[in-house]
Structure 1
Amino acid sequence: METIYKSDFCEYVFYPEDNLLIGRWFNTDHLTQDSFKEELINGELPAIKQCEPNRYLIDTSSFELPIAPDTQQWIVENVSRLYPIYGVKKLAFLTTTAFVAQLSLRQSNEESDDGEVERKHFDNEEAALNWLKSSKL
């Protein structure tokens, strides 16, 4: 296990034995759209580029920031399109219970679904990890 990035809002930890990257979000009630983008630029993008994980779990179970439509589009153009380039094959999302935040996260995920990365939403981390590790890539 190697911590790649940690801030007040998120952390990215790589598990080389499973070629698995886990990104966890927290304290997001204090995030703005711009600071959210900064966290993606400073945390997620370098972690994906450095680790080139086949499996990626994004834990948004504590995510409270509704993502604005222009930010959703920015994610598609600047983040999600890089997943297959850096080797991501399976992407699991742990979902939040905050309805508006969950809706915006799902919309962002659906907009970036290019068919190259298998994506699935979960409300249980164990189930998400089992799915990520379940098949050969």
Structure 2
Amino acid sequence: MPRIKLSQDDNKYFTSYFDEDLGMYELFWNKESEDMEDEDYKTLMLKDKELLVAYPDVDFFLLDNRNFLFSMSPDLQEWSAREITSKMFEKNPNIRTAILVSSDFIAQLSIEQAIEEDEQTNETTKYFEDEQEAREWILGL
């Protein structure tokens, strides 16, 4: 099966895919994320989550945050943990998540705080600077 693009073409903040062969959701942030508003984040992440739940075999997340330049407020971090992360882990508590770190310190800190809001993710989430290392870890190679 192919790698299916989930994100809409008019989404300038990120591009996302689902690889049916690997069971992997991939999200690649764009530098335009610096101009994103909280409501943009919520709307786009909810759309992606709705599309992704249609696939029963999601085992891996690869989140490429190297160009993620949006700083999430504490309220948005809590919302993201409650509405996105925890919902995906309810479906599969063993999802392995590899996160490529943001070049922006504040944005990276907000990502880590959002991830840490959901205690389920601590065992299955790891941060990387190198995409190849992230892919190897996530697939157990």
Whole-angstrom CA distance in 1 between matches of 2:123 and 2:95: 5
Which of 104, 109, 114 aligns to 2:120? It is 114
Q: Per the alignment, in what secondary structure is the counterpart of residue 50 of structure 2?
A: helix
Amino acid at match of 1:59: D
Amino acid at match of 2:12: D
| Equivalent in the alignment of 2:133 | 127
1:62-119 C-alpha deviation (Å, 9 max, x unpaired): 0011110000010111111112223352011111110111111111111123258611
Structure 2 counterparts to residues 3-22 of structure 1, below 5 A: 3-6=5-8, 7-22=11-26
Q: Does 1:67 align with 2:69?
A: no
The answer to whether the 8 A contact 1:48-1:86 is kept is no
Relative distance call for 1:8 and 1:115 in structure 2 (3 A) is closer
Whole-angstrom CA distance in 2 between matches of 1:86 and 1:56: 13
Runs (5+) with no aligned partner, structure 2: none
Q: Does 1:35 align with 2:35?
A: no
Q: Could you list the structure 1 runs, at least 4 aligned residues long, displaced by more than 4 angstroms after superposition.
A: none
Runs (5+) with no aligned partner, structure 1: none
The answer to whether the 8 A contact 2:18-2:52 is kept is no
Whole-angstrom CA distance in 1 between matches of 2:111 and 2:121: 18
Q: Per the alignment, in what secondary structure is the counterpart of residue 50 of structure 1?
A: coil
Higher mean alpha-carbon deviation, 3-12 vs 64-73, is at 3-12
Q: Normalising by structure 1, report the TM-score.
A: 0.89
Whole-angstrom CA distance in 1 between matches of 2:82 and 2:121: 15
Q: CA RMSD in A?
A: 1.7
| Equivalent in the alignment of 1:94 | 100
Q: Percent identity?
A: 19
Which of 23, 26, 42 aligns to 2:27? It is 23
